[in-house]
């Protein structure tokens, strides 16, 4: 079946530190991969995506590369800010005739201190 | 504002009761998805509707049901509520063709006391 595994948190970093949140997936076919972010008290927002192998998604200084050979989509940021504190979800999508079915990992909480 | 509207934002009710959560999808989106988010289970897919028809079912309990109306808004009905049903319920919508992810609403926080 299709599944997503994320590193467990919480991840605690100081401002300007380097961030990596690991994500691996199991899927049939060729899924699209996503990172969503959830700030306190809010819904999930799409952070970045990649639709095929070797694609790199990027947004707001965050990056992730679709690695088919290692079935991974790790999220990275070179210098985190306090405002990046949130829960990050890795997800994959399987497309059918009606649209996409998104399967999420359990989420990783990031806490950044100044 | 994501374009997906969920009401109410908060709901407190007693065990055994029934509630209805409402979702209006983003303009032009035909698919609606419901998710339950709890601390222990994470984000669980419940059910998907496309243009009024049920298309996919996830971990949805028999006490729960949903529908999508001709104007494309959707309702999630939760009955015989238990304490364990307390969670955030999210609605999301997407266009017909995939690969672009979903747009999420801000959720309904349900507390069962």
pLDDT of residue A95: 67
Closest CA to B99 of A102, A71, A20: A102
A76 vs A72: CA distance, rounded Å: 12
Q: Which of A34, A42, A106 sits opposite B101 (nearest CB)?
A: A34
Q: Is residue B15 scored above 90 in pLDDT?
A: yes
Task: Note the pLDDT of residue B96.
Answer: 66
For residue A40, give both structure tokens.
């306190």
d(CA A47, CA A60): 8
Shortest Cα distance, chain A CAs vs residue B74, angstroms: 16
B27-71 pLDDT, tens digit each: 989 989 999 998 877 888 899 998 999 988 888 999 999 999 999
B8 cis-preceded (ω within 30 degrees of 0): yes
CB atoms B56 and A101 under 8 Å: yes
Residues A24-75 pLDDT 10s: 999 887 888 999 999 988 889 999 999 899 999 999 999 999 999 999 999 9
Determine the distance in angstroms separating the CA of A52 from the nearest CA of chain B, rounded to an integer.
Answer: 10
The answer to whether residues A25 and A4 touch, using CB atoms and an 8 Å cutoff, is yes
- Name every chain B residue with its beta carbon within 8 A of the beta carbon of A46: 101-103
Q: Report the C-alpha gap between B52 and B73 in whole angstroms.
A: 9
Test B50 with A104 for CB contact under 8 angstroms. Answer: no
**Percent of chain B having pLDDT more than 90?**
72
Distances (CA, A) of A76 to A72, B7, B75: 12, 35, 37
| B92/A102 touch (CB, cutoff 8 Å), yes or no | yes
Radius of gyration of chain B (CA): 13
Check CB contact under 8 Å for A93 and B99.
Answer: yes
Across the interface, whether the CB atoms of B98 and A95 are under 8 A apart is answered: yes
């Amino acid at each position: 079946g299709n599944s997503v595994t994320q590193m467990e948190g919480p991840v605690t970093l100081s401002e300007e530190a380097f961030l990596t949140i690991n994500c691996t997936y199991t899927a049939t076919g060729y899924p699209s991969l996503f990172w969503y972010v959830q700030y306190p008290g809010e819904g999930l927002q799409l952070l970045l995506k990649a639709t095929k192998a070797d694609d790199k998604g990027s947004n707001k200084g965050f990056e992730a590369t679709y690695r088919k050979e290692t079935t991974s989509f790790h999220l990275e940021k070179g210098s985190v800010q306090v405002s990046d504190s949130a829960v990050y979800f890795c997800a994959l999508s399987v497309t059918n005739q009606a649209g996409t079915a998104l399967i999420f990992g359990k989420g990783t909480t990031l806490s950044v201190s100044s | 504002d994501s374009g997906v509207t969920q009401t109410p934002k908060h709901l407190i009710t007693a065990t055994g009761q029934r509630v209805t959560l409402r979702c209006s999808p983003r303009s032009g989106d035909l698919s609606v998805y419901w998710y339950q988010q709890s601390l222990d289970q994470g984000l669980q897919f419940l059910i998907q509707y496309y243009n009024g028809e049920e298309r996919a079912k996830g971990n949805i309990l028999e006490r729960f049901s949903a529908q999508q109306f001709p104007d494309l808004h959707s309702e999630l009905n939760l009955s015989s509520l238990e304490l364990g049903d307390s969670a955030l319920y999210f609605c999301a919508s997407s266009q017909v063709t995939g690969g672009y992810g979903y747009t999420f609403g801000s959720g309904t926080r349900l507390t069962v006391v």
